[in-house]
């Protein structure tokens, strides 16, 4: 079989894990990113150095491909539209990407689809928010999110009072969301191919580090009701269809204190909340994304083992060449799978790797994951 050439925009850890999975089938996967020393470049010779935010670079790269996909949303969309009009297959489609990479358009899309999400308004700047807040007596705290460019919690600010707002305001057009009284955060990954086949993975539960404002640990299966599981899977399936996405769509949800399920946000690509699938599911999310964009039959999404996953984040206070302190102690733990992304420099809260651990129950896996977190630290020793 002659496989189509697949171009991936982005050479970070998600790109690396896509090429590692694709290599088993010897798929021709090409990467576009700035430096071959980035995570995906370390394992893939088919690497073009260039800027995925630049029209010319994306076009020149995409012209040589049959299928173009992404591992990051912040790519040049005009070039993707152009490539599509040239007859190239682009997944996710650029119309969906345009909606998703703007958190304001995302929220409006959920509302237009009649799907549950927290209430919000859109503002261009601080002055506009202050005027609206005074006029309509808007409640505090309020969650400010930059409409574009934020990631790993960096574009999110919780503003507790009109006084705090000046020091914590992030500059740029924003979504102003009601602060949800979060009981749990869960995520569901949906997969789809062009024939219209849709499958959803078992929901995972995410535990947040409030300081870093990103996921500390997640586990699967989530400790939630069957009703919540079904509702979340139905919403994820509905979203991937209505956005006409092939490949993956990860959907993050809140369950609030009253038990209401609310969509937080979506991502049209492999996702941090699906890393455990490499070891714990019949088909990994990376394999599934490739099947989806190739219009191949989707793989079995059965969860074979309870699992927990911890992100290896750069320890606060350290910046420089990375050193994984205590890694030998993690290697002693049965069924712990260490993934290091190959980023040369650590920075506070930077995602440097992850570890998935399997157990006979989610509780056992969580216990092992906690012990892993105590054993390993990502630091710099220079």
> Rule CB under 5 A: which residues touch Mg ion?
252
Rounded distance between C-alpha atoms, residue 263 and residue 266, angstroms: 8
Which CB, 179 or 194, lies closer to ligand ATP? 179
- Shortest Å, Cβ 321 to Mg ion: 29
Give me the least distance between CB of 148 and ligand ATP, in Å please.
11
Output 212 or 369, the one with its CB closest to ligand ATP.
Answer: 212
Closest approach, Cβ 146 to Mg ion, in A, equals 13
Binding to ligand ATP in span 204-223, by CB under 6 A? 208, 213-214
| Per-residue binder mask for ligand ATP (CB under 6 A), 237-256, x = binder | ---------------x----
State the Cα–Cα distance between residues 294 and 75, nearest whole angstrom: 21
Compute the half-sphere exposure of residue 144: CA atoms within 13 Å on the CB side of its CA.
Answer: 28
Smallest distance, ligand ATP to C-beta of residue 381, A: 28
From 333, 97, 73, 316, select the one nearest 209 (Cα to Cα): 316
Q: Are strands 247-256 and 261-267 parallel, antiparallel or unpaired?
A: antiparallel
* Least gap, CB of 328 to ligand ATP (angstroms): 30
Tokens of 275: 């890393």
Backbone φ, ψ for residue 129 (5° rounding) = -65, -45
Q: Does 309 bind ligand ATP (CB under 6 A)?
A: no
C-alpha to C-alpha distance for 53 and 33, rounded to whole angstroms: 9
Quote the CA–CA distance of 295 and 67 in Å, as a whole number.
11
Phi, psi of 66 (to 5 degrees): -100, -40
54 or 256: whose CB is closer to ligand ATP? 256
Tokens 């490539």 found at: 83
CA-to-CA distance for 382 and 372, rounded, in angstroms?
24
Give the shortest CB-172-to-Mg ion separation in angstroms. Answer: 18
3-class secondary-structure state, position 156: strand
CB of 248 to ligand ATP, least distance (A): 15
Q: With CB cut-offs between 5 and 8 Å by kind, which of ligand ATP, Mg ion, none does residue 143 bind?
A: ligand ATP
143 contacts ligand ATP (rule: CB under 6 A)? yes
Residues linked to residue 33 through DSSP beta bridges, in sequence order: 49
Lay out the site mask for ligand ATP across 150-169 (x = CB under 6 A, - = otherwise).
xxxx-xx-------------
- Among ligand ATP, Mg ion, none, partner that 367 touches (CB below 5 to 8 angstroms by kind): none
- Selection from ligand ATP, Mg ion, none that 67 binds (CB < 5 to 8 A by kind) is none
- Could you give the dihedral angle defined by the CA atoms of residues 126, 128, 134 and 136, in that order, rounded to the nearest 10 degrees? -130
**CB under 5 to 8 A by kind: which of ligand ATP, Mg ion, none does 193 bind?**
none
Distance CA 295, CA 220 (A): 27
Cα–Cα distance measured from residue 340 to residue 41, given in angstroms and rounded to the nearest whole number: 14
Q: Roughly how many angstroms between the first and final C-alpha of the chain, as a whole number?
A: 50
Query: What is the rounded CA–CA span in Å between residue 36 and residue 363?
Result: 40
**Which option in Mg ion, ligand ATP, none does residue 172 bind, with CB closer than 5 to 8 A by kind?**
none
Q: Whose Cβ is closer to ligand ATP: residue 289's or residue 291's?
A: 289
Count of Cβ atoms closer than 10 Å to residue 140 Cβ:
14
Which of 82, 102, 177, 315 lies at the binding interface for ligand ATP (CB under 6 A)? Answer: 177
Closer by beta carbon to Mg ion, 57 or else 252: 252
Identify which of residues 89 and 248 has a Cβ nearer to ligand ATP in the complex.
Answer: 248
The one segment of 16-24, 144-152, 317-325, 330-338 that binds ligand ATP by CB under 6 A: 144-152
Contact status, residue 319 vs residue 345, Cβ threshold 8 Å? yes
Cβ-based nearer residue to Mg ion, 254 or 337: 254
Residues that bind ligand ATP (CB under 6 A): 118, 143, 145, 150-153, 155-156, 177, 179-180, 182, 185, 208, 213-214, 252, 264-265
């Amino acid at each position: 079989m002659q496989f189509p050439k697949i171009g991936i925009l982005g050479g970070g850890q998600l790109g690396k894990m896509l090429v590692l999975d694709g290599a088993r089938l010897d798929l021709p996967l090409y990467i576009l990113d700035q430096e071959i020393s980035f995570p995906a470049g370390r394992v893939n010779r088919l690497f073009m150095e260039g800027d995925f935010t630049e029209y010319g670079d994306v076009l020149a790269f995409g012209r040589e491909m049959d299928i173009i996909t992404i591992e990051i949303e912040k790519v040049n969309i005009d070039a993707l539209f152009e490539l599509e009009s040239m007859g190239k297959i682009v997944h996710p489609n650029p119309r969906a990407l345009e909606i998703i990479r703007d958190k304001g358009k995302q929220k409006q899309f959920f509302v237009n689809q009649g799907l549950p999400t927290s209430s919000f308004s859109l503002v261009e700047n601080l002055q506009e928010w202050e005027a609206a807040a005074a006029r309509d007596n808007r409640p505090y705290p309020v969650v400010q999110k930059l409409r574009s460019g934020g990631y790993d919690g960096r574009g999110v600010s919780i503003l507790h009072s009109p006084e705090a707002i000046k020091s914590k305001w992030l500059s740029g057009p924003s979504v102003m969301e009601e602060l949800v009284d979060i009981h749990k955060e869960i995520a569901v990954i949906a997969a789809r191919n062009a024939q219209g086949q849709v499958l959803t993975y078992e929901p995972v539960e995410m535990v947040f580090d409030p300081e870093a404002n990103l996921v500390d640990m997640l586990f699967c299966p989530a400790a939630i009701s069957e009703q919540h599981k079904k509702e979340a899977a139905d919403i994820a399936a509905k979203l991937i269809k209505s956005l006409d996405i092939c490949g993956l769509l990860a959907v993050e949800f809140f369950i609030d204190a009253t038990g209401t399920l609310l969509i937080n946000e979506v991502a049209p690509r492999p996702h941090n909340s699906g890393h455990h699938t490499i070891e714990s599911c019949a088909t990994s999310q990376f394999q599934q994304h490739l099947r989806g964009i190739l219009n191949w039959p989707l793989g079995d999404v059965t969860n074979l083992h309870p699992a927990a996953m911890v992100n290896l984040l750069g320890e606060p206070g350290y910046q420089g060449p990375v050193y994984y302190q205590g890694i030998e102690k993690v290697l002693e733990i049965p069924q712990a799978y260490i993934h290091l992304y190959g980023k040369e420099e650590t920075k506070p809260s930077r995602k440097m790797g992850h570890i998935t651990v399997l157990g006979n129950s989610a509780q056992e896996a969580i216990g092992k994951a906690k012990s892993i977190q105590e054993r390993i630290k990502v630091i710099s020793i220079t």
